[in-house]
Amino acid sequence: MRIALDCKGVQTVVMRRRIAVKKAIIALCASLALAGCVTPPKQGYVLGSRWGGAPTVASVKVIDDPFQNHLTFEGPKFLYEDYDAILDDNAAMIRSWINRSGGSPTHQIYVFNEYRGCSLRNWFQAVDEDRNNLQFVKIFQSERKCDSSSNTVYQYEVFGAEVKDSVLRDRQNSGYAVRFYSRKGNFTTVIIPKDVIRIQLEAVDGRLALLTTNQNSRPTNPTSTTSRNPDSTKPNVTVKQGQNPTKPNVTVTQSGDPANPSVRITITTP
């Protein structure tokens, strides 16, 4: 049997093979992604998943400004999902503060968001995985307008949400998810990995223990009722008169070396 293929038939076969190869590559990439074989994040970033993604740099930056009454803790940055954002700036971290005089720490989810668009999204609301409304904090906005040379530019916003210390401690073994909403209808979910929460609390608790130790070791200033001379064997004596003094006689007698006199004061009453 002869099979005759013209040029058009050959091109059709080649095209089908190319499509089949592309489908195989896409399927392979998908399977690798599901298996966790993904490109590791940049230095200082972690994967935004509560089930994995240990920090590549497991460290918390402590800012100890002697002119401030508090200490600031900046945790490692981690990625979160926002398909319209730029990967390098699509990150979040935990910021914490403790007062030098003690008290409970305060925490904030600090989010960087740079995205394509001709106007700001205006993020304004934060809700956690238990449907609790968190206090939203607008930190920074940088709006760039589109012009005739570019139909799409990048907008930049920084915002946050306050998180209670008790809530964060309850999530250090499971992770914590917070969803942010914009006034334009966008939303993005920030999932804090459990390892990020754990090392943040370890850093905070370590400094709290150090502050407590320093406060307990400060010397006290007890009130002394007895005043002494440089020569501790000869205490000063304070003589008090009675309630009804009747013109007491005072006699002062000086003896000894004039450079180091010995003074005796005698008080007699009639």
pTM, two decimal places: 0.61
Is the residue at 54 inside a domain? yes
Contact 50, 191 (CB under 8 A): yes
Residue 268's pLDDT is 59
Is the residue at 52 inside a domain? yes
Residue 35's pLDDT is 44
Is the residue at 133 inside a domain? yes
DSSP per residue, 41-100: PPTTEE-S-TTS---SS---EEE--TTSSEEEEE--EEE---TTB-GGG-EEEEEEEEET
Residue 227's pLDDT is 45
Q: What are residue 136's DSSP bridge partners?
A: 161
Is the residue at 234 inside a domain? no
Query: Would the CA dihedral through 25, 27, 29, 35 be positive or negative?
Result: negative
Is the residue at 68 inside a domain? yes
Residue 121's pLDDT is 93
Phi, psi values for residue 137, rounded to 5°: -125, 120
Residue ranges making up the domain that contains 93? 45-216
pLDDT average per 10 residues of sequence, the chain (270 residues): 46 47 46 44 46 57 93 91 58 94 92 87 96 97 77 86 97 94 93 93 93 73 48 47 53 56 58
Contact 149, 198 (CB under 8 A): no
Is the residue at 187 inside a domain? yes
Is the residue at 24 inside a domain? no
Contact 247, 270 (CB under 8 A): yes
Of residues 123, 195, 200, the one with CA closest to residue 160: 123
Is the residue at 10 inside a domain? no
Number of folded domains that form the chain:
1
DSSP symbol at 245 = -
